[in-house]
Amino acid sequence: MDAEVRIELGGEPVLLLGERALYWPAGQALLIADLHLGKADVFRRSGIALPAGGTRDDLQRLDALVRTWACRELWILGDILHGPVHRAAWYRQWLGWRESNPQLEVHVVPGNHDRQLPAAGLEVEVHGESAALGPFLLRHDPRARAGMHVLAGHLHPQVALPGLGRKLPAFWLREGMTVLPAFSRFTAGVAPLLRPGERMVACADGLAVALPPA
């Protein structure tokens, strides 16, 4: 097992990374989905006790990926936020991370949790409900588009492997579409029923595991 699986999508070589991200070498672009900044804070404000540190850990993982792959661009395929933008610790951590990566272009295709994104002050470029990047169409909601390979998020795909007591986040490879796993570790997900020819690439503790097609 390796830290990445190298495949072609839309006629372009890409790497599916075990750290729940996709890297497109030709564009020096890293793509992730469903970062859900501030999710734990939203839960705590609702009276649900959760440990701190989730955003800090996610940003440390993201920082390592950006530096390892010498990225020029980061694209977040929706749900960079989880709810209202309270000026909590996660917000300061995000701005500190942006300050430490001033040359990185950060683009966001908004998701269903991003209603407050335009006024959030996160120092990102906000696009419409879709954006073209090379041969890819970037969306949050996974809907196909003829003639383009869609990269999306939203569903938080997972896979159950024999012998494991937990589900693993995974890339869901479909005809004309790839659904990325949630980047945030603080997320649940769905284990899709695969149609013939579809397959999954599981993310197991930083390793990428290509599973046989359905």
Phi-psi region of 176 (alpha: psi -120 to 50; beta: other; left: phi over 0): left
Residue 182 domain boundaries: 4-210
Whole-number pLDDT of residue 43: 47
Domain with residue 178: its CATH number is 3.60.21
Distance CA 131, CA 139 (A): 7
Question: Which residues of the chain are under the pLDDT cut of 50?
Answer: 43, 46-48
Whole-number pLDDT of residue 23: 98
Whole-number pLDDT of residue 144: 95
Phi-psi region of 121 (alpha: psi -120 to 50; beta: other; left: phi over 0): left
Whole-number pLDDT of residue 185: 85
Whole-number pLDDT of residue 48: 47
- Tokens linked to 9: 């999508």
How many domains does the chain fold into? 1
Distance CA 115, CA 209 (A): 35
> Taking the CB of residue 174, how many other CB atoms lie within 10 A of it?
18
Span 5-14, pLDDT tens digits: 999 999 999 9
Span 108-159, pLDDT tens digits: 999 987 888 887 889 999 999 999 999 999 999 999 999 999 999 999 999 9
